[in-house]
Structure 1
Amino acid sequence: MNIYFQKSFQRSFGTYPLKGDTLRQALDAAIGAGYRAFDTAQMYGNEAETGAALAACGVAREDLCITTKVHPDNYSEETFLPSVEASLKALQIDRVDVLLLHWPPVGGDVAPSLRLLQSARDRGLADTIGVSNYTARMMHVARTVVDGPLVTNQVEFHPLVDQRKLLAAASETGIPLSSYASIARGEVFKHGLFAEIGQTYGKSSAQVVLRWILQKGVPLNTMSTKPENIRTNFDIMDFMLSSIDMERIDALNATGYRIVKPGQLPWAPEWD
Structure 2
Amino acid sequence: MNIYFQKTHQRAFGTFPLTGDVARDAILAAAEAGYRAFDTAQMYGNEAETGGALAATGLKRDEMCITTKVHPDNFSEDAFMASVERSLKDLKLDFVDVLLLHWPPIDGEVAPSLELLQKAKDQGLTQNIGVSNYTIAMMKKAVTVVDAPIVTNQVEFHPLLNQDTLLAGANDVGIPLSSYSSVARGEVFKHPEFAEIGAGYGKSAAQVVLRWIIQKGVSINTMSTKPENIRANFDIMDFTLSHVDMARIEKLTQTGYRIVGSDLVPWAPEWD
The DSSP-based 3-state class of the residue aligned with 2:200 is helix
**Paired amino acid for 2:233:** N
> Given that residues 136 and 166 in structure 1 are in contact (C-alpha distance below 8 angstroms), is that contact kept between their aligned partners in structure 2?
yes
User: Deviation of residue 126 (structure 1)?
Assistant: 0.3
Distance 1:265 1:170 in 2: 22
User: Deviation of residue 65 (structure 1)?
Assistant: 0.5
Distance 1:125 1:148 in 2: 14
* 1:251 corresponding residue in structure 2: 251
> Given that residues 99 and 130 in structure 1 are in contact (C-alpha distance below 8 angstroms), is that contact kept between their aligned partners in structure 2?
yes
1:150 matched to 2:141? The reply is: no
In the TM superposition, what whole-angstrom CA distance separates every residue of 1:203-229 from its partner, at most 9, and x where no partner exists?
Answer: 000000000000001011000000100
* 2:263 corresponding residue in structure 1: 263
Query: Superposition pairs for residues 183-262 of structure 1, below 5 Å?
Result: 183-262=183-262
User: Deviation of residue 116 (structure 1)?
Assistant: 0.4
Distance 1:258 1:167 in 2: 16
Query: Which sections of structure 1, spanning at least 5 residues, go unmatched?
Result: none
**Paired amino acid for 1:180:** Y
User: Deviation of residue 55 (structure 1)?
Assistant: 0.8
Distance 1:31 1:148 in 2: 29
Distance 1:47 1:148 in 2: 25
In the TM superposition, what whole-angstrom CA distance separates every residue of 1:179-215 from its partner, at most 9, and x where no partner exists?
Answer: 0000000000000000110010000000000000000
Question: How many residues are matched?
Answer: 272
In the TM superposition, what whole-angstrom CA distance separates every residue of 1:24-52 from its partner, at most 9, and x where no partner exists?
Answer: 11011101100000000000000011001
Distance 1:161 1:261 in 2: 13
In the TM superposition, what whole-angstrom CA distance separates every residue of 1:111-139 from its partner, at most 9, and x where no partner exists?
Answer: 11000000000111000000000011111
Distance 2:263 2:45 in 1: 23
What is the root-mean-square deviation of aligned Cα atoms in Å? 0.7
**Paired amino acid for 2:107:** G
Distance 2:256 2:220 in 1: 20
The DSSP-based 3-state class of the residue aligned with 2:94 is coil
* 2:43 corresponding residue in structure 1: 43
**Paired amino acid for 1:121:** K
**Paired amino acid for 1:76:** S
The DSSP-based 3-state class of the residue aligned with 2:8 is helix
The DSSP-based 3-state class of the residue aligned with 2:67 is strand
1:68 matched to 2:68? The reply is: yes
* 2:34 corresponding residue in structure 1: 34
**Paired amino acid for 1:36:** R
**Paired amino acid for 1:213:** I
**Paired amino acid for 1:208:** V
Query: Superposition pairs for residues 59-98 of structure 1, below 5 Å?
Result: 59-98=59-98
**Paired amino acid for 1:142:** A
Distance 2:157 2:264 in 1: 17
Distance 1:133 1:79 in 2: 21
The DSSP-based 3-state class of the residue aligned with 2:130 is strand
* 1:21 corresponding residue in structure 2: 21
> Given that residues 263 and 269 in structure 1 are in contact (C-alpha distance below 8 angstroms), is that contact kept between their aligned partners in structure 2?
no
> Given that residues 129 and 148 in structure 2 are in contact (C-alpha distance below 8 angstroms), is that contact kept between their aligned partners in structure 1?
no
Distance 1:170 1:265 in 2: 22
What TM-score, normalized by structure 1, do the two folds share?
0.99
User: Deviation of residue 7 (structure 1)?
Assistant: 2.6
Query: Which sections of structure 2, spanning at least 5 residues, go unmatched?
Result: none
The DSSP-based 3-state class of the residue aligned with 2:66 is strand
In the TM superposition, what whole-angstrom CA distance separates every residue of 1:77-119 from its partner, at most 9, and x where no partner exists?
Answer: 0000110011001100101000000000001111110000000
Distance 1:180 1:3 in 2: 17
**Paired amino acid for 1:210:** L
User: Deviation of residue 262 (structure 1)?
Assistant: 2.7
Moved over 3 A (4+): none
Percentage of pairs with the same residue: 71
Distance 2:264 2:91 in 1: 29
Distance 2:28 2:53 in 1: 8
